[in-house]
Amino acid sequence: MRVLVTGGAGYVGSVLVPLLLDHGYQVRVVDWGMFGLEHVDARAELIEGDIIDFRPEWLEGVDAVIHLAGLSNDPMAAFSPPLNYVLNAAGTAIVAQAAREAGVRRFVFSSTCSVYGFSPQGEADETTDARPTFPYAVSKLMGERSLLCLEDEAFRPIVLRFGTIVGWSPRLRFDLVVNTMVKTALSQGRVVVFNPDIWRPLLDVRDAARAYMLALEAPLDVTGVFNVAAENYRLPRLAEEVASALAEAGVPARVEVERRPDVRSYRVSSARAREVLGFRPQRAMRDTVLELVARIRDAGIEDFDDPRYYNVEGMKRFLAEGRTPWAVVRALGPSEGGR
């Protein structure tokens, strides 16, 4: 089976693509290289391209699409809401429409549990009303909606709403909650809880990659939305678990609590993913933290402030280089608020 992975050079893609190759899939990656293309597995076919300018020939011989490309967090979306809506909403519809026209049946989309916005009461399931108020989550919901509109007997979309994905990837990010905690522990001897009241569902990036594979392998009668997370955490408990694993790795860190406002707090149920897709997370928080510390040490990472580890910084650099190839978005530029 040949799979097209859009955005396959990113944080999740750099773990997912080797997993698919190891399991006998042929993989074609389309990515415009916002954070470089050097982490794409050499066994994959790589096309440096922009999903807004999607070419039908990228789908030749393709049996399924995993769509990861887009802006992938709130700071990026806030920096340029127009670009966010173009990439995440229109971009998803553009890729999906092309896939449907090419007769590709399975389409897997990487959405987010942050579509549940501020809803800390109880666990949200896929029937819970999702009414986010901030650009990233609204744009992901728009992407979801376009897929569900296109669904028919021949086009079979699966939407995976992930919790925050954390852990080691060759294309490392330090702007994800656990990765940030490990970074501040290594660089400053502390783990910071930004707001003790909020909830976040989390999962390891390897478990996320396995969830994509399960979606590829699901029978074609399976479609629709799935929450995917290993566990819901209140941030103080998360910090204690992370600090305890860090101590085991020989990295002492004190937990500090701040009270910054946050518009996102949500807990989710992943029961549908468990029952229908057979999703069973395999990695505990301790595994994630121990691996992160070991890999960061092996890789000799010491400059924790390098912009390459922070998506919004990489995006600013990419845009400053004039790398968005379409005039319409160049004309829109970043919003005043995001400058």
Ligand X SMILES: NC(=O)c1ccc[n+]([C@@H]2O[C@H](COP(=O)([O-])OP(=O)(O)OC[C@H]3O[C@@H](n4cnc5c(N)ncnc54)[C@H](O)[C@@H]3O)[C@@H](O)[C@H]2O)c1
Whole-number Å distance between alpha carbons of 191 and 312: 22
Per rule CB under 6 A, is residue 162 in the interface with ligand X?
A: yes
Whole-number Å distance between alpha carbons of 215 and 196: 34
User: What are 204's strand-pairing partners?
Assistant: 166
One of 4, 5, 28, 50 touching ligand X (CB under 6 A)? 50
Per rule CB under 6 A, is residue 32 in the interface with ligand X?
A: yes
Terminus-to-terminus CA distance in the chain, angstroms? 44
Per rule CB under 6 A, is residue 112 in the interface with ligand X?
A: yes
# residues contacting ligand X (CB under 6 A)? 29
One of 3, 20, 27, 52 touching ligand X (CB under 6 A)? 52
Is 233 annotated in the active site?
no
Whole-number Å distance between alpha carbons of 210 and 228: 11
Strand order in the sheet with 164-166: 164-166, 199-204, 231-234
Task: Write down the least CB distance from residue 122 to ligand X, Å.
Answer: 21
Task: Write down the least CB distance from residue 146 to ligand X, Å.
Answer: 14
Task: Write down the least CB distance from residue 141 to ligand X, Å.
Answer: 12
- Only one of the segments 19-27, 46-54, 118-126, 179-187 lies at the binding site for ligand X (rule: CB under 6 A); that segment is 46-54
Candidates 264, 130, 284, 269; CA nearest to 199 is 264
- Closest residue to ligand X using C-beta atoms: 10
Per rule CB under 6 A, is residue 202 in the interface with ligand X?
A: no
Task: Write down the least CB distance from residue 91 to ligand X, Å.
Answer: 6
One of 5, 20, 51, 99 touching ligand X (CB under 6 A)? 51
Candidates 3, 132, 149, 8; CA nearest to 70 is 8
One of 20, 34, 64, 253 touching ligand X (CB under 6 A)? 34
Q: Which of 136, 233, 266, 310 is catalytic?
A: 136
Whole-number Å distance between alpha carbons of 118 and 156: 30
Per rule CB under 6 A, is residue 176 in the interface with ligand X?
A: yes
Contact positions with ligand X (CB under 6 A) in 56-85: 68-70, 72
Per rule CB under 6 A, is residue 7 in the interface with ligand X?
A: yes
Q: Are 51 and 94 in contact (CB under 8 A)?
A: yes
Q: Cα separations (Å) of 218 from 28, 107, 206, 269?
A: 20, 11, 18, 20
SS3 for 278? coil
Q: Provide DSSP, 53-100.
A: G--GGGGTT--EEEE--S--SHHHHHH-HHHHIIIIIIHHHHHHHHHH
Candidates 161, 175, 152; CA nearest to 130 is 161
Per rule CB under 6 A, is residue 4 in the interface with ligand X?
A: no
Output 13 or 117, the one with its CB closest to ligand X.
13
Task: Write down the least CB distance from residue 152 to ligand X, Å.
Answer: 24
- Only one of the segments 45-53, 124-132, 209-217, 250-258 lies at the binding site for ligand X (rule: CB under 6 A); that segment is 45-53
Report residue 325 CA to chain centroid gap: 23
Catalytically annotated residues = 136
Provide the binding-site residues for ligand X, judged by CB under 6 A. Answer: 7, 9-13, 30-35, 50-52, 68-70, 72, 87, 91, 110, 112, 162, 164-165, 171, 176, 311
